[in-house]
A and B are shown apart, each in its own frame.
Chain A
Amino acid sequence: GAGVSQTPSNKVTEKGKYVELRCDPISGHTALYWYRQSLGQGPEFLIYFQGTGAADDSGLPNDRFFAVRPEGSVSTLKIQRTERGDSAVYLCASSLEGGRDTSYEQYFGPGTRLTVT
Chain B
Amino acid sequence: AQSVTQLGSHVSVSEGALVLLRCNYSSSVPPYLFWYVQYPNQGLQLLLKYTTGATLVKGINGFEAEFKKSETSFHLTKPSAHMSDAAEYFCAVSGGENYGQNFVFGPGTRLSVLP
Asked if residues A33 and B9 are in contact (CB atoms below 8 Å), the reply is no
Q: Does B45 contact A (CB under 8 A)?
A: yes
Question: Which residue of the partner chain, among B51, B96, B105, contacts A43 with CB atoms under 8 Å?
Answer: B105
How far, in angstroms, from A108 to B88 measured CA to CA in the complex? 15
- Residues facing B in A83-117 (CB within 8 A) are 91, 93, 98-103, 105-111
Asked if residues B104 and A45 are in contact (CB atoms below 8 Å), the reply is yes
Asked if residues A108 and B45 are in contact (CB atoms below 8 Å), the reply is yes
Interfacial chain A residues near B100, Cβ < 8 Å: 102
- CB A113 to nearest CB in B, in angstroms, measures 9
How far, in angstroms, from A109 to B104 measured CA to CA in the complex? 17
Question: Which residue of the partner chain, among B43, B94, B103, B105, contacts A4 with CB atoms under 8 Å?
Answer: B43
| 27 A–B contacts, CB within 8 A, in A order | A40-B9, A40-B107, A40-B108, A42-B4, A42-B105, A42-B106, A42-B107, A42-B108, A43-B90, A43-B103, A45-B102, A56-B102, A59-B102, A91-B44, A98-B101, A101-B96, A102-B96, A102-B101, A102-B102, A103-B32, A103-B51, A103-B96, A105-B46, A107-B46, A108-B44, A110-B43, A111-B43
